[in-house]
Amino acid sequence: MIRNVSVRDMRWPTSLGAHGSDAMHTDPDYSCAYVVIYTMNGAEGHGLTFTLGRGTEIVVQAVHTLSSLVIGKDAADIFNNFGSFWRKLTSETQLRWIGPEKGVMHLATAALVNALWDLWARVQHKPLWKLIADMEPEQLVNCIDFRYITDVITPQEAIKILKERQPNREKMEREVLTKGYPAYTTQVGWLGYSNETVTQLCHKYLSEGFTAFKLKVGQDLSDDKRRCKLVRQIIGDDKLLMVDANQNWDVQEAIAWMKELAPFKPLWIEEPTSPDDVLGHLAISKALAPLGIGVATGEMCCNRVLFKQFLQSGAMQFCQIDSARIGGVNEILAVYLMAYKLGVKVCPHAGGVGLCEMVQHLQLFDYICLSQSSEGRFIEYVDQQHEHFVHPVVVRNSHYMTPKAPGYSTELEREAAEGYEWPIGSEWQKLFASGKFVDPRHATTLPPTKH
């Protein structure tokens, strides 16, 4: 029985080092709404949804509002019919009006749902990927709400696909336990980094075995050319280069800009325009295909319906699910199934607080149960905030090592939770005292929190 749900506003001052900076988000403070579900018998589930600082308090309030739909429920009843429960959570008759299935309410839903999955995996004494991979197809499909997507895939089709892939599951699991799953790094490419920092990081990650690197672009074309040239010269022509505009362009601007960057042979352009513009992404995909440049998007896709349209239309060549943007594991499973059926590779978005920790589990499910291949697929890797988790990601020789601890890898260390809770954490008190940030409790207006 679930007796209580707590949620905390957690923030880290990453803007001080320009970590995470891109054309649209110039000064992010990596943050999350951190949820803990407590049960009567002492079991806990930890979950989160990623944010960039200001506004996290709104997501926290949304979690509080949704918590009444979880407290008092028997967790076993939820897990036995998880798809139905997920629909109830996202279809509460009044709260749905301020979604539906998008925005702050869906971010809050993801935090709660992720905590429930962590709880389930802990109770079963399995890492989340193993919990899902061990499910019979009917049980897994029972976790998914297929409303609005049956024109692409039905529950019956999903069961058939999973059963067809079942004979190879044990083999794929043995392989990934041995070699891990390939990663690419964005750590070299934040827009606010100096030439010296970019150069140093490129050499660092090359020495660690990385063969794929991503750069942020989109503010200044001449500077983008300079930075692409710098990175390409360091990593060589035999390595992969991706670029990411973080939604900064109009459609025709994106096409023209990428034609200028084409000589640097990027594998993809990520989020070239509005994340909701399916037809715009389709136009960009068609224009760039002759240049060998694909379109990647999905980290800001708000739900499975938008993913359905991107996948159906051919507007994305690389599908980038995010573990906290849509409604948690249940909805992400639906996207994986649609992507598999329609032949689109999934390369998860990661890098923010806890995202690397979570998406490794999701991509392992795909490797073991669906695609059963890592060819042309990667998990994004950014070396940020991992030290604050009880079970952080382990990356060796540019591969995510398969997690073995029970759960979803989402539990924060107690010291981190106490140090970085906004605005009362001990680390924030030091930053307020130094004058690097403004304590919002003492501010008379609402300026940016950073000087």
Among all residues, which ones are annotated catalytic?
216, 349
β 266-270/240-244 pair status: parallel
Angle CA 225–18–212, to nearest 5: 50
**Nearest-angstrom CA–CA distance, 192 and 96:** 38
Cβ(345)–Cβ(376) under 8 Å? yes
Cβ(326)–Cβ(106) under 8 Å? yes
Q: Which of 285, 297, 216 is nearest to 254 (CA)?
A: 285
What are the backbone angles phi and psi of residue 450, rounded to the nearest 5°?
-100, 140
Cβ(343)–Cβ(312) under 8 Å? no
Residue 6 tokens read as 């707590």
Q: Which of 240, 169, 233 is nearest to 203 (CA)?
A: 233
CB count, 10 Å around CB of 197? Answer: 15
**Nearest-angstrom CA–CA distance, 369 and 173:** 9
**Nearest-angstrom CA–CA distance, 372 and 167:** 11
What are the backbone angles phi and psi of residue 297, rounded to the nearest 5°?
-165, 170
Bridge partners of residue 412, in order along the sequence: 389
What are the backbone angles phi and psi of residue 100, rounded to the nearest 5°?
-80, 135
Residue in the structure block whose two tokens are 């991107």: 310
**Nearest-angstrom CA–CA distance, 282 and 100:** 25
Q: Which of 390, 388, 425, 387 is nearest to 411 (CA)?
A: 390
Q: Indicate the SS3 state at residue 20.
A: coil
Q: Which helix (H) or strand (E) holds 47?
A: strand 44-51
